[in-house]
Each structure stands twice: as structure tokens, then as C-alpha cells.
Amino acid sequence: MNSKKLLAEFFGTFWLVIGGCGSAVITALFPQIGIGILGASLAFGLSVMTMAYAVGHISGGHFNPAVTIGLWVGGRVPSSIIPGYIIAQLVGAVAAGGVIYLIATGSPNFVLGDFVANGYEDHSPGKYSMAAALVTEVVMTFFFLLIILGATSSKAPAGFAPIAIGLALTLIHLISVPVTKTSVNPARSTGMAVYAGSWAIGQLWLFWIAPIVGAALAGLVSKYLYSEEK
């Protein structure tokens, strides 16, 4: 496995978690200047877009185990990259979570709370059920991968894929933050869960299974949808 690709996936996932989760955690310490759902959604979209331009040409810019698996199901990447990419993504996410924790605990106003870890029922912002969370994560990840696969297809306008992907992630967060605080990314979920405590670890299974199922379904659909493209 090319070490540059693994490093690119590490940095990309690190920046995604720092940008998205960090903006939510750190600004929450100061409600008077908090960025809210709109700001956090933009932060996630901007983080993935900027790193897609920065290192996407090296690794493909996955930054997400579900994306890696969805692209594999869609026939875009070989199975040999999956273990290395997922490990790099997880290490990047957990490292970013640690940096966020160190910064946030430097404020006397810090309260751990949910630490923007993904959750359902009592740990959902809107107290949504486990079933609602499952459906949300499957559907949101399905469309996220469909957009990624379409935007990076051979007939799509060249050079614009990171913009479409970043805007898609922004929209996904605007829809689903009230339900699960939005995962669509098992690495992002893991990176926060390890610092949030036992409840987050206990609910983490959903934020692995649902995004992977949604991504795999999108990969299967893409084989038909883009079947005439190389």
C-alpha cells in the first residue's frame, strides 16, 4: 500500500473531524457566538471539499470507511485498499477527537455532554427512535455515495466533484443533525464516541452498519446507472 495514500486519508479524515465536530464542540462553549446547525453543516461540507482538493488526487479523497466500501462495491477501487484506508481513516478521526478534547477542556466552561457523538433516543437532539436513526443514516449515506459516484464519473464536468461532494455533505447535515447529529461516516462517529463515554460506544454499532449498508446499496445502483461509462 502506498504510504502517501494512507497519509492523505489520515490527514483528510483528521481535517473533516476537526472542521465539523471541532466547530460544533468549541463554539458550543460560547452560546453567544455559536454557529448552530447551519454553521456546523457548512463546516463539514467545507472540510471535505477543501481536503478533496488538497489530497484527493493522491488517495481519491475518501476520508470515510463507508465511502471506501461504496466505491469498492461500485467497482471504482480494488478490495486491496480497504483495510489500509479504513485504518488510516480511523486513526485520523480518533486523533482529531483527541485534539478537540484537549482544546475544549482548556476552557473552564467545558462540559463533556454528548461531545457531538452520534446517538439515538435519549442521545438524539430530537429524541428520535433507533429505527428513525437507522433509516436516516442509510438514506443519507446512500445519496451521499450516489453523488460521489456521479460527480466523479467519466462524463461529469472535470474539477467540480469536490464542490458537489462538499455541498452534498452540507445538505445531509442540515437534514439529519436533529435526528442523529449526522454520521454517514463510521470514522467520524468512532472519533467522537471514544471520548464521549460508554453510551456512545454502546450505540456506535448503528453508525457503522447503517452508513455501510447505504453506501453498498449506492455502489450497486451505480453499476447500472453508470454502466455505459468506463
What is the domain count for the chain? Answer: 1
Phi, psi of 71 (to 5 degrees): -70, -35
Copy the grid coordinates of residue 58. Answer: 493522491
Q: Domain range spanning residue 198?
A: 3-225
pLDDT tens for each residue of 130-151? 999 999 999 999 999 999 999 9
pLDDT of residue 34: 64
- Residue 163's Cβ-count burial label (10 Å; 0-12, 13-18, 19+) is middle
Total residue length of the chain: 230
pLDDT of residue 107: 82
pTM value is: 0.94
Copy the grid coordinates of residue 2. Answer: 502506498
Dihedral angle at the C-alpha atoms of 209, 68, 149, 134, nearest 10 degrees? 10
Q: Please indicate, yes or no, if residue 230 is contained in any of the structural domains.
A: no
Per the CB < 8 A criterion, the answer to whether 208 and 132 are in contact is no
DSSP tag of 157: P
Which residue positions in the chain have pLDDT lower than 50? 230
pLDDT of residue 32: 65
Q: Please indicate, yes or no, if residue 21 is contained in any of the structural domains.
A: yes
pLDDT of residue 113: 77
Give the CA radius of gyration of the chain: 17
Q: Please indicate, yes or no, if residue 176 is contained in any of the structural domains.
A: yes
pLDDT of residue 45: 96
Q: Please indicate, yes or no, if residue 148 is contained in any of the structural domains.
A: yes
The CATH number of the domain holding residue 82 is 1.20.1080.10
pLDDT tens for each residue of 196-221? 989 999 999 999 999 999 999 999 99
